[in-house]
Amino acid sequence: MRDFSSSTYQRRKVAPNKVRIQRKPIEWGKYLRPLGRIALGLAGISLACGIVFAAKRAIDSTTFFRLKNIEVSSAKRLTQEEILALVGVEAGQDMSRMNLKRMGEQLAQNPWVETVRIHRYFPDRLSISITEREPLAIVNMGYIYYLDRKGTVFKVLNQGDKLDYPVVTGFSEEEMNSNPAVTREALKTTCELLGILQEKGSFILADVSEIHYDKGYGFTLFTNSGALPVKVGAGDFSAKIDRFARIYKDLMVQRASLQYIDLDYLDKIVVKKS
């Protein structure tokens, strides 16, 4: 066995491994170049938006469609000046920016207006046409309203409004609000009866001062002369009025002695004397 204790061998010190790292400079240009392109693009977009906005303002301020001619249909109740004021239109306005639907809605808010038609004809013409409601009777429902031929209650009477129409009673605002469909149907039936009275010869609408409606029974007419009740009921108005018209003049000679007349039969008239 070898004795190492007396050996002259010496271990060499081994120097540790050293790796030399060289630091490379950061290439900032590589990162800044995309940012520059983005900034340039944003600036281009901003410039384009500015040009578009300026062009739009220039177009808005300059138009080739200035209103020059306004045609308004003739009307009985509303003057041309009132119609133009309701729609808010006057010469010189930009036709391309007019809201015809809104103009029509504004005009239709007037109770006399039934239908509205507004047309524009480029480059400079506007046409406004309306139809007005015609009163057929007056409905007393607490307030006094006009009733048109379609059974529409459309206007509260004001001072100066004409009163020479038959008066319809028996309807109420409460009933109209709580049961509008039934009330509208009854008002349409009232107009049907009024229309038949207008068509007849001997006994006509001018002879009627009041038409009273009763939900359970139907209609009762009151004559202008003596407020004589004439019971009509709820249907077959034309035949009943025809029968009554044939004897109306003879009955009116005796009106002072009459209590009521009942037409609500198929083939006869009942006259009740006082």
Q: Render pLDDT for 123-133 as a digit per residue (tens, 0 to 9).
A: 999 999 999 99
Q: Is the pLDDT of residue 96 over 70?
A: yes
Phi, psi angle pair for 109, to nearest 5°: -70, -20
| pLDDT tens figures, 204-227 | 778 889 999 999 999 999 998 889
- Is the pLDDT at 23 greater than 70, yes or no? no
Residue 251: its pLDDT value, please? 86
For residue 12, the 8-state DSSP code is: P
CATH 3.10.20.310 given to domain 69-132? yes
Buried b (16+ CB within 10 A) or exposed e, 202-231: ebebebbebbbbeeeebbbbbbeeeebbbb
Residue 244 to residue 262: CA distance in whole angstroms: 10
So what's the pLDDT on residue 198? 85
**Residue 210 phi/psi, 5° resolution?**
-150, 145
Mean pLDDT for all residues in the chain: 85
Q: Would you say residue 104 has pLDDT above 70?
A: yes
Residue pointed to by tokens 């009477």? 157
d(CA 210, CA 170): 10
| Domain boundaries for CATH 3.40.50.11690 within the chain | 135-273
- What pLDDT sits at residue 26? 58
Q: Which residue has the higher pLDDT, 22 or 144?
A: 144
CATH number, domain 135-273, options 1.10.357.10, 3.40.50.970, 3.40.640.10, 3.40.50.11690: 3.40.50.11690
As a whole number of angstroms, the distance between CA 207 and CA 198 comes to 10
pLDDT of the residue at 245: 87
Give the 3-state secondary structure of residue 33: helix
Band of residue 1 on the pLDDT scale cut at 50, 70, 90: very low
Token duo for residue 103? 């103009």
Stretch among 8-17, 33-42, 107-116, 213-222 having the lowest mean pLDDT:
8-17
| pLDDT tens-place string over residues 221-237 | 999 888 999 999 998 99
| pLDDT score for 4 | 46
265 band by pLDDT with thresholds 50, 70 and 90: very high
The DSSP bridge partners found for residue 210 are 167, 222
Least confident of 33-42, 75-84, 162-171, 247-256: 33-42
Question: What pLDDT score does 116 carry?
Answer: 97
DSSP state of 142: S
- State the pLDDT at residue 157: 96
Nearest CA to 126 out of 67, 73, 64, 60 is that of 67
Query: CATH 3.10.20.310 residue ranges in the chain?
Result: 69-132
Query: What torsion, rounded to 10 degrees, do the Cα atoms 158, 148, 252, 236 define?
Result: -150
Closest CA to 117 of 97, 103, 133: 103
